[in-house]
Structure 1
Amino acid sequence: MSKYDVIALGNALVDKEYEVTDEFLAAQGVEKGVMTLLECDVQQRLLDSLNNQFGLKKRAGGGSAANSMVTTAQFGGKVFYCCKVGDDALGEFYLKDLTDAGVMHRLDQQNTPGATGRCVVMVSQDAERTMCTYLGITIDFSVNELHEDVIRNAQILYIEGHLVYQREAVDAILVAKKIAREAGIKVAMTFSDPAVVKYARDHLADVIGEDGVDLLFCNQDEVADWAGNDDVDAGIEDLLKICPTLVLTRGSKGAQIITRESVIDIPPYPVKAVDSTGAAIHSQVRSYTASPMVWIWRLQVVWQAAVLPNVFHNSVLAWRLMFSKPFSLKCSGRPSKRMVACWIQPKVVITK
């Protein structure tokens, strides 16, 4: 029996979140709605401006895959995170934050000189998130951060798209993927951001490889960029050749779970948008990727893959992710298809 439900490879970043205006983004020359990589000094000047004009709203351990692992742990999953932090105050903060969230790791065995990565998250008034990231020591992610014994004792290997910018990280991912394939472990991946597809497509293609991945998380912009001609349908068709299951988000139109045999439409749930980023608050992180990974393979019911992201924000249900037991409900009777089929994006608040 597997010791871990999911092992993830990803960046270790301390998120600093600010509420900003569109005018500020324009004045700083920052492209709205995407993640931009910055050098340390450039990011520090941005932080100085943010602190002077707006003030820090919150700080938390982050990183795309880390957020998903935190959410999975909160649902009761046993998860492990492979990442890299420096021997600085932010590294100590990240280690403690990950531990407190119930995510297993071996960061306490690291003693690597360097600066821990930081992600500046700027949330504009329309709830759109814009990120400016200094990767710090996580840019040196390599095979040294892998733990083969953990990979072989997991059910799912989950890969963060943001890692593929660096060739050394790509090589490490390919090693982990080879171990997973040899051990019969499912492989899941997220594109993470349209910028990954635009600027690191070759590395992304190397990671996906001819054998593909078993489950791919992506949004319509990423798929359109993958197609190379802004044609989402063409991108889907191309990806299905190497990825048997896609979980595709379509913004206000909801989401789709797409296989080679069927398409399941997941309607959006009425919400008031607060923040479209999955970073900075663990209670509202990337739950969209956390739940499908365990539900698709553990329960073998694909159409339930979008359940937990919805009920994660819904006080009517008290779900607990029990891998060997049925889920429990606060309400009487069985869950309706409406309950199961609802979907919302991360970091929104249901209005009642």
Structure 2
Amino acid sequence: MTQPAYDVVAIGNAIVDILSPATDAFVADNGMTKGAMALVFSPEDADALYAKMGPGQEVSGGSAANTIAGMAALGGNCAFIGQVADDQLGDVFAHDIRAAGIRFDTEARPGSPTTGRCMIFVTPDGQRTMNTFLGASHYLPEAALDRALIADAQFLYLEGYLWDPEEPRAAMRAAIDVARAAGRKVAFTLSAEFVIDRHRDAFHELIDARLIDVLFANEAEIVSLTQAADTEAAIAAVKDKVPLVVVTLSEAGACAVAGDRRVRVPAAPVDKVVDTTGAGDLFAAGFLHGQARGWDLERSLKLGALCAAEIISHFGARPLADMKALAARV
């Protein structure tokens, strides 16, 4: 097997995050569930909610794209596959991800719908309430896959959020086949409980077929996937089918389970939680960065915890600190 040129190639939603401060009352008055993510299905509803937002920040986002951006900032060689539209937000997304040193070759899609956007309302306690209009990202076709690129990456990283629509789901299944045929590893993040509720059987099919090498989840997600009584029982239900299970435990840190081996690290300290957007994404970035370099589980987990702490200390899901210096602390 040849040495791969890329650490990770990711497939995910290509969206632009729009972050704005909001009060708890605003979130409640507009029918949102604080701290949750809801899908906005129509362009009209997306425009109406956007009109209510106060001044904010626009930055390229998407779960897997955030992870790849974190890895690139750490010094990794990464690529991203995701669908944008041929519009202004699509140009913003493409510019941002390429400026971060990430290979992005997916051609923009002409016509409607527009490029996806996630309207994020951040309350004073740092909780983010997300309203996502997925737009063009849900029209990623299998034809957009660069199979040679996928085969040339140590890890293929997939986000559960993109499993919903038929076209991207078929593309990701095809990408898994390419990665497995090339002897590469497949990492999968469950993304959210509502995603698991829709696709629990399909996710179990992937796991039972031994197609997932690294599974990322938080406590609620791993319990939802397995419908077990608690986190420990949930991990036990999948650990013999997935070589590496990585579970974030919020303020209690994170753990990695490889067969009968378990490693746990505490959460990295942070002076003030400003915005929890992207915490799991950047944790995955740190962990995968370590694994791509042959680090042991403890060291990889520690870097993941440091990356998560960095991201929750400021607005936005893209790192602001010197991430290479952060990695050097581990």
Report the TM-score, using the length of structure 2 for normalisation. 0.88
For 2:181, the equivalent position in structure 1 comes to: 182
For 2:99, the equivalent position in structure 1 comes to: 100
- The answer to whether the aligner puts 1:48 opposite 2:43 as a matched pair is no
1:248-275 residue CA offsets vs partner (Å, 9 max, x unmatched): 1111111111221222121123322111
Alpha-carbon offset, residue 287 of structure 1: 2.1
For 2:13, the equivalent position in structure 1 comes to: 11
1:7-46 residue CA offsets vs partner (Å, 9 max, x unmatched): 0000000100011122112111112222111122112211
For 1:306, the equivalent position in structure 2 comes to: 301
The answer as to whether partners of 1:85 and 1:112 remain within 8 angstroms in 2 is no
1:297-318 residue CA offsets vs partner (Å, 9 max, x unmatched): 431412111232344549xx97
For 1:276, the equivalent position in structure 2 comes to: 276
Q: Which amino acid aligns with 2:4?
A: S
The answer as to whether partners of 2:147 and 2:178 remain within 8 angstroms in 1 is yes
SS at match of 2:324: coil
Q: Which amino acid aligns with 1:23?
A: A
Distance 2:242 2:75 in 1: 27
Distance 2:327 2:30 in 1: 49
For 2:324, the equivalent position in structure 1 comes to: 320
Distance 2:266 2:101 in 1: 31
1:90-117 residue CA offsets vs partner (Å, 9 max, x unmatched): 111111111111111113x435323100
Residues 238, 253 of structure 1: alpha-carbon distance in 2 compared, 3 angstrom cutoff: same
Distance 1:145 1:242 in 2: 30
Selected match of 1:27 from 26, 29, 45: 29
1:264-301 residue CA offsets vs partner (Å, 9 max, x unmatched): 121123322111111xxxxx883211122232243141
1:164-191 residue CA offsets vs partner (Å, 9 max, x unmatched): 1113222211110011111000111111
For 1:265, the equivalent position in structure 2 comes to: 264
**CA RMSD, 1 decimal:** 2.3
Distance 1:142 1:208 in 2: 24
Q: Which amino acid aligns with 1:12?
A: A
SS at match of 1:286: helix
For 2:110, the equivalent position in structure 1 comes to: 112
Residues 170, 209 of structure 1: alpha-carbon distance in 2 compared, 3 angstrom cutoff: farther
For 1:227, the equivalent position in structure 2 comes to: 226
Distance 2:258 2:189 in 1: 16
Q: Which amino acid aligns with 1:41?
A: E
The answer as to whether partners of 2:68 and 2:80 remain within 8 angstroms in 1 is yes
Distance 1:285 1:189 in 2: 13
- The answer to whether the aligner puts 1:286 opposite 2:281 as a matched pair is yes
Q: Which amino acid aligns with 1:161?
A: G
- The answer to whether the aligner puts 1:121 opposite 2:123 as a matched pair is no
Alpha-carbon offset, residue 5 of structure 1: 1.0
The answer as to whether partners of 1:33 and 1:129 remain within 8 angstroms in 2 is yes
1:128-182 residue CA offsets vs partner (Å, 9 max, x unmatched): 1111111101111220221101011111100011011113222211110011111
Distance 1:29 1:328 in 2: 41
1:57-96 matches, within 5 Å, as: 57-96=56-95
Q: Which amino acid aligns with 1:5?
A: D
For 2:209, the equivalent position in structure 1 comes to: 210
The answer as to whether partners of 2:268 and 2:306 remain within 8 angstroms in 1 is no
1:311-344 residue CA offsets vs partner (Å, 9 max, x unmatched): 4549xx97639xxxxx985xxxxxxxxx64xxxx
Distance 1:84 1:152 in 2: 20
Alpha-carbon offset, residue 197 of structure 1: 1.3
Distance 2:158 2:207 in 1: 10
Residues 124, 260 of structure 1: alpha-carbon distance in 2 compared, 3 angstrom cutoff: same
1:189-213 residue CA offsets vs partner (Å, 9 max, x unmatched): 1111222112332343344451141
Residues 71, 297 of structure 1: alpha-carbon distance in 2 compared, 3 angstrom cutoff: closer
Report the TM-score, using the length of structure 1 for normalisation. 0.83
Q: Which amino acid aligns with 2:10?
A: A
Q: Which amino acid aligns with 2:289?
A: V
The answer as to whether partners of 1:165 and 1:203 remain within 8 angstroms in 2 is no
Residues 319, 90 of structure 1: alpha-carbon distance in 2 compared, 3 angstrom cutoff: closer
Distance 1:265 1:153 in 2: 31
For 2:4, the equivalent position in structure 1 comes to: 2
Q: Which amino acid aligns with 2:291?
A: I
Q: Which structure has the greater CA radius of gyration?
A: 1
Residues 318, 25 of structure 1: alpha-carbon distance in 2 compared, 3 angstrom cutoff: closer
1:184-203 matches, within 5 Å, as: 184-203=183-202
Distance 1:121 1:318 in 2: 25
The answer as to whether partners of 2:176 and 2:211 remain within 8 angstroms in 1 is no
Distance 2:78 2:150 in 1: 11
Q: Which amino acid aligns with 1:320?
A: K
SS at match of 2:157: strand
Give identity over the alignment, percent.
Answer: 32
Alpha-carbon offset, residue 225 of structure 1: 1.0
